[in-house]
Amino acid sequence: MKGLEKIKKIDLAYKPTPLYKLNNISLITGKNIFVKRDDMTGIGLGGNKVRKLEYLLADAIKCGADTIITTGAAQSNHAMLTAACCRKLGLDVILVLLKRGVTEKKGNLLLNDLMGVEVVFVDSDRTQDLYAEINRISDQLKAAGKTPYTIPIGASVPLGVLGYVDCVKEMIEQSRDQDIKIDHIVCCTGSGGTYAGLLLGAKLFKPEIKVTGIAVTLDDFYPVVKELVNQSCDLIKAGPISIEDDIHLFNYAGDGYAIPSERGNAAINLMARNEGLFLDPVYTGKTFGGLLDLIDDGYFEEDENIVFLHTGGAASIFAFM
């Protein structure tokens, strides 16, 4: 895929991340369940944002940026990982976060503090107010002769999506080496970019792989994913790709984003007790809970090999549980 290779990225993640079978969970559920350990991408506490940041921070450097500004919830994994990558690359970083939920120095806020990162809280429920604050800070920095670069929430923009197109390529190579046939990938959907990337990657490199997203916010991700896939196709000059019938999304937000759910917490316990693997209460626990429910509902084919993408988020265990 020449268009993809032409886009600049920085090597930030430790790759390939492991792919292996969850033997005990597979026995319990009667399904072949594998895990792709993108919680082991190697910077901060690991997680999915590092692959996206490989493209976005390369772009920032290309644009001559010296200060990265990004945004999200108070306990945003994305914000913490952006800060960690910036520390590694020697870039300044400012995090503009919503002053809602767990705002004490716990979880990701503790990690931001350890990195000495500047955090600006916005006392609002509206994401528009985050971007208004970002614009204000950007203008101030420019007036002081700096070159800021803004990364939107979750890095779910076309450049970021490409990180998960790469991940599909990586999984296909691993499946060849390990002689496993991947039939289905299940991932968390929080701002849409990871799911869009996996879907596009599957379409480009192995269209028979089905990709299912489990949403952990109450938003409707169908239009978001469709738009992101189309824009990413344009970016890599892949031509128009029809994905309308391939978008499979389920909602397991429960009472809402960052409100732990009984289903999610039960999934966290099951994974910890049987595989020694930690999921988190905001993203991956709810996602794995959704996957288990879908098994019970007969959603997967009889002998499918299912890959659960572990997207990280460990710091939330210490903020929310």
Ligand X SMILES: Cc1ncc(COP(=O)(O)O)c(C=O)c1O
- List CB contacts of 179: < 8 A, sequence separation 6 or more: none
- Minimum distance between the CB of residue 78 and ligand X, rounded to whole angstroms? 5
Between 23 and 79, whose beta carbon lies closer to ligand X? 79
Between 188 and 319, whose beta carbon lies closer to ligand X? 188
- Minimum distance between the CB of residue 276 and ligand X, rounded to whole angstroms? 19
289, two tokens: 């809970």
Between 48 and 305, whose beta carbon lies closer to ligand X? 48
Binding residues for ligand X, per CB under 6 A?
47-48, 77-78, 154, 156, 188-195, 283-284, 311-313
Tell me if the bond preceding 16 is cis, omega within 30° of 0: yes
Catalytic residue among 26, 76, 156, 232: 76
CB 200 within 8 A of CB 232: yes
- Minimum distance between the CB of residue 202 and ligand X, rounded to whole angstroms? 15
- Minimum distance between the CB of residue 308 and ligand X, rounded to whole angstroms? 12
- List CB contacts of 203: < 8 A, sequence separation 6 or more: 229, 241, 243, 246
Angle 197-198-201 from CA coordinates, rounded to 5°: 85
Check if 175 is active-site: no
DSSP 8-state code for residue 104? S
DSSP 8-state code for residue 244? G
Strand 184-189 vs strand 305-310: parallel, antiparallel, or unpaired?
parallel
CB 65 within 8 A of CB 37: no
Between 180 and 318, whose beta carbon lies closer to ligand X? 318
Label residue 166 left, alpha or beta by phi (over 0 means left) and psi (-120 to 50 means alpha): alpha
Between 38 and 59, whose beta carbon lies closer to ligand X? 38
Between 66 and 318, whose beta carbon lies closer to ligand X? 318
Between 138 and 191, whose beta carbon lies closer to ligand X? 191
Task: Round the CA-based radius of gyration of the chain to a whole number and report it.
Answer: 19
- Minimum distance between the CB of residue 56 and ligand X, rounded to whole angstroms? 12
- Minimum distance between the CB of residue 94 and ligand X, rounded to whole angstroms? 18
- Minimum distance between the CB of residue 191 and ligand X, rounded to whole angstroms? 3
Distances (CA, A) of 183 to 144, 159, 172: 53, 26, 11
Residue with tokens 């389920």: 250
**CA 101 – CA 169 distance, rounded (Å):** 37
Instruction: Describe the strand order of the beta sheet including 32-37 as a list of residue ranges.
Output: 19-21, 32-37, 305-310, 184-189, 210-215, 248-251
CB 163 within 8 A of CB 52: yes
The catalytic site residues sit at 76
